[in-house]
Amino acid sequence: PAGGAGGMAQAKALITKEPAPQSVPVTELPRKVCEVALNTGPDSSSGLITSGFRTAKYLTHEWHQSNSDLYNKAFTGCERGQCNRAESKELSAHAVATAQRAQQNSTAALGQHLQDIHFWKSELQRQIEDLDAETGLLTAQKLRLERALDATSVPYAIATDNLQCRERRQPPDLVNDEVEQELLKEAELIRNIQELLKRTLSQAANQMRLNRDHKEICEVDWSDKVETYNIDDKCGRYSNESTSIQFHPSSVKYEESASTPETWAKFTHDNIYRAEREKLASINLRALIDSILHDVSEDLRRQCAAVNEAFVRRCEELDDAKHNLEHHLKNVLREIGDQEANIAALKKAIKDKEAPVKVAQTRLYDRSFRPNVELCRDEAQFRLISEVEELTETIESLKQKLLESEQSLKNLEGTRMDLEKEIAVKRNSIFIDRQKCMAHRMHYPVVLKLAGY
C-alpha cells in the first residue's frame, strides 16, 4: 500500500549506517497490516519516531545499560541537588550580607548627603539673613537720601529767592557782585547735588532689587534643601521592618534632568557667591552713600557760609557807601544854604548899587543942561562918568557872579538830588540784602538735616 511505501522510505531515510549483525536469526515475520521500517541497530530502542513500532524485546545489555543510566542520573541528580543546596545556602548568606552591607552603605551615603545638605542649607540661611539685614540697612540709607534730597529744596528756594530779590536792586547797585556770584554758585551746587542724590537713589533702589532677587533665589534653594533634607532624612530612617516600604520598579533609573554632585554643589555655591557679591556691593554702596551725604552737607554749609560772608561784606560796603553819601549830602546841603545866602547877598549888593548909579547918572543928566560954555568937561564930569562906568562894571561883575552862584546852586541842587537818590538806592540795597536775603537765610537747614537725619 502507498502508506506502507511511505513508511519504508521514511525509515530508510533515518538509517545513517549499515545495520549491525543481529544475534537472533532473521526470520520472516507475519505480515502486518502496516508496514514498518526495519531498525535492527544498537539504537533500535531509542528514537521517538520508532517508538511503538519495535517488535523485539530489550536486550540484556540494554536492560543493564538502562539501569546504569538511571543510577547515574539519580546519583548525578542528588549530587547536583546537594551542590545546589550548598550554593543556595551560601548565596542566601552572601545575599543577606550584601543586602545588609549595601543598605548600610546607602544609609551612610544618605547620612553624608544629609550633612552636605545641612551645611549648604546653613550657608544659604546665613546669606538670606545677611541679605535681609543688609537690605534693611540699605533701606535706611535710601531713606536718608530721600530726606537729604527733600532738605535741599529749602536751600535752593532760599538761593533762588535771594537772586530774585536782588533783581529788585536799583542801578547802579544792580551789579554782578561777589554775593551774586556766590549765590549762582550755590544754586548750581544745589542742582548738581540734587542730580547726584537722584542718581544715588536710583542705584540704591536697583541694589535693593538685586538684594531681594538674590535673597529670593537663596530662599528657593534653601526651601529645596529643606524639602530634600526631610526626604533624605525619612529615607535614612527606613529599615527592613518599616511598614511604609513597597516595590517601586520604575524608580530604578537615572533622570535625564538629574544633576551631578559637582553641578549640585556648584549651583548652591554660585548662588551663595552671587549673594555674597551683592551683599558686598550693598555694603560698599552704603559706605558711598555715607560719604556722599557727608560731603554734600559739608559742601552746602561751606557754600552757605561763603554766601553769608559775601552778604556781610557787601552790606558793610553798602553801609560805608551810604554813610559817605550822607556825609557828602550834609556838606552839599550846607553849601546850598551858604550859596543861597550868597545869592541873596549878591542880589542885595546889586540892588544896593542902583541908588549910586541913579545918583551918578542923575548928576550927569542934570549937568548936561548946563548952558553954553558952562557945558564943560571938567574934572567933575570925568569923575562922574568914571563913577558910572565903575558902578556899571561892578554891577555887571555882581550879576555875572550871581549867575555863577545860581548855576552853582543849581548844580548843588542836582548833586543833592543825586545824593538823596543814591542814598535811597543804598538803603533799598541794604534792605534787600540784610532784611530780605540774610533774614531768609536764617532758615537754612542744619548739617544733620542736610545729611539726611
* SS3 state of residue 254: coil
Mean pLDDT of 396-407: 93
The sign of the CA dihedral 108, 114, 120, 126 is: negative
pLDDT in tens, 338-387: 999 999 999 999 999 889 989 988 988 998 898 988 888 888 889 989 99
* % the chain with pLDDT above 70: 88
pLDDT in tens, 74-101: 999 899 889 989 988 998 898 889 888 9
Instruction: Classify residue 52 as left (phi > 0), alpha (psi -120 to 50) or beta.
Output: left
In single-letter form, the type of residue at position 400 comes to Q
pLDDT in tens, 238-264: 888 888 888 888 777 777 778 888 999
CA distance 214 to 279: 10
The pLDDT of residue 11: 39
The pLDDT of residue 52: 52
For the chain, domain boundaries? 332-444
Q: Which residue has the higher pLDDT, 18 or 90?
A: 90
Cell of 45: 530502542
* SS3 state of residue 59: coil
Is residue 352 a contact partner of residue 395, using CB atoms and an 8 Å limit? no
Question: Cell 541873596 sits at which residue?
Answer: 344
Side-chain half-sphere exposure of 441, counting CA atoms within 13 A:
26
pLDDT in tens, 26-58: 555 555 454 444 455 555 544 455 555 555 577
* % the chain with pLDDT above 90: 61
The pLDDT of residue 240: 86
Least confident span in 36-45, 125-134, 187-196: 36-45
Where b means 16+ CB within 10 Å and e means fewer, 366-393 reads eeeeeeeeeeeeeeebeebeebbeebee
The pLDDT of residue 15: 41
Q: What is the mean pLDDT of the chain?
A: 86
- pTM score over 0.85: no
Least confident span in 319-333, 375-389, 411-425: 375-389
